[in-house]
A and B are shown apart, each in its own frame.
Chain A
Amino acid sequence: MHELGVVFHIIDDVTAVGRENNLTGISSVTLQLGKVSTVIPEYLTDCWNWAVKKTDLLKEAELIIEPIEAISFCEDCKTSFDTIENGKTCPNCGSTHTFLQQGNEFMIKEISGS
């Protein structure tokens, strides 16, 4: 829902890294995005393509998004399950004493440039 705001944060962080490494152009930025991170990849890409045009270092930069599956863990029967399919309820024993193990990540993984 706040894709534009996070795009500005990513551009700031990546620009700082690019400058530290004396890059003259960044060709791609790879993100790792959990499937329940509340960020929609398509919107993120749209905001990215608009915002990078206004920069020097990133104007040619492609955004690569690596999805991370959402997996929850049941504290009662000690099994893992797909969060998107089952929500908070364990499909194995029906318990709601569950927590998200992975899937809310939003990481800048790496950049490439020259």
Chain B
Amino acid sequence: MDAVKVIEIKKSVYESNDREADRLREELRSKGIFLLNLMSSPGSGKTTTLKATINRMKYTHNIGVMEADIDSDVDAIAIAKETGVKSIQLHTGGMCHLDAGMTRQGLDELIDGKVDFAILENVGNLVCPAEFDTGATKNAMILSVPEGDDKPLKYPLMFSICDVVLINKIDVMPYFDFDLEKCKENIKLRNPQAKVIPICAKTGEGVDEFVKWLEEEIRINKG
């Protein structure tokens, strides 16, 4: 029998994924494709926000949506039915997040030569998706009012990696002890660069500002 060899590796568990994500991001940029990774906890209004956003942008962009869930295809069906854009469902097989490799597989199916604005609706979870770079051009997250203004303190990594934070369900603010200014302060503490946009996906309030932010980022990505 051969002697036992010890091989030193000394590398982060996340390093391979980070490299794959950087490769994917660069490939997308060179093809003029913008990929938005949308994250939040379950029930914060990701699908409703996407419907409102897509319906404002679908006439000027070729939009495609990837819905990532542990199981079911309810979100993909809802998006396709209510917006008419191409929508596919990705099943994570029990996993709590998507990584860059899984995102690439989804994009291979979604992008048919037409789609130039791809949206990934990540698994509803404030912890794991933050650890794995998907290769998205920009990261967005939604925090809804019933979840509380202290969430940026409890889930610092998620807030620190997001380019934009949407504070959703502002129509019910009077019924909850949610302090919008305190919440903005808590976000700035973790991520001074993050743009914060209060919205109500149901009534459409604030959605135009999010669309404006997206349009600008898409323009920058195209160079």
Contact = CB atoms under 8 A, between A and B. Distances in A.
A68 interface: no
B8 interface: yes
B3 interface: yes
Contacts, number: 79
B220 interface: no
Contact of A114 (B4, B10, B13, B157): B4
A10 B17 CA distance: 11
Interface stretch (B32-40, B124-132, B136-144, B180-188): B124-132
A10 to B, nearest CB: 6
Interface in A24-54: 24, 27, 31, 38
Interface of B: 1-14, 16-17, 94-97, 99, 125, 127-128, 131-132, 157
Given A12-B16, A21-B5, 20 more contacts: A2-B97, A5-B96, A5-B99, A6-B13, A9-B14, A9-B99, A13-B9, A23-B5, A24-B2, A106-B12, A106-B13, A109-B8, A110-B7, A110-B8, A110-B9, A112-B4, A112-B7, A113-B4, A114-B4, A114-B5
29 contacts: A1-B96, A1-B128, A2-B95, A2-B96, A2-B97, A2-B127, A4-B95, A5-B128, A5-B132, A9-B99, A10-B13, A12-B16, A13-B9, A13-B13, A13-B16, A106-B12, A107-B10, A107-B11, A107-B12, A108-B10, A108-B11, A109-B8, A109-B9, A110-B9, A111-B6, A112-B4, A112-B7, A113-B4, A114-B4
